[in-house]
Amino acid sequence: MGLGILLAIAAALGWGAGDVFVRRAMLGARPETVTIVAAGMVLLAVAVFVAGSSGVGAFAAPSAAFVGLTAVMGLLTWLGGNLLYFHAMARAGVVVVAPILGLTPLFAIALAVTLGGERPSVTTLAGTLAIVTGVLIVLTDRKRVLR
């Protein structure tokens, strides 16, 4: 569990740094262009990592159901989510939009309960309340400047 937590913190650091770089990149490019370039870079990096760690046999033909479900997941989460996120950052900036993305665990918990049959612990519910409270604080800050 400890390694999982460290990896999640590293991922959060990577995404946080990525937000700043994406915002800078969007000063001269459209969100669609940034999404396509980022998707290509991620696809290439993952392909190189998989081939290097597992060999080219890892790319054996998967089942049609796997390909379909993975395609839907990729369109909904990575491509669709990032495109919407990049448009939001172009309009409101990282300081406002990044905390709103902090609602992601809230949606994950709701879907895990409704679709996955999981039951959250009291600690998870307390964390959810903390996330919602934090996002509400950011959204109700009257001193922030919207463009």
Which class for 7: exposed (0-12), middle (13-18), buried (19 or more C-beta within 10 A)?
exposed
Residue 120: CB atoms within 10 Å = 14
What does the pLDDT read at residue 1?
66
DSSP H or E stretch at residue 62: none
The C-alpha atoms of residue 113 and residue 122 are separated, in whole angstroms, by 14
- Could you say which residues of the chain have pLDDT below 70? 1, 142, 144-147
With a CB cutoff of 8 Å and minimum separation 6, the contacts of 39 are 78, 79, 82
Beta strands in 12-144 (DSSP E): none
What does the pLDDT read at residue 136?
86
What does the pLDDT read at residue 58?
82
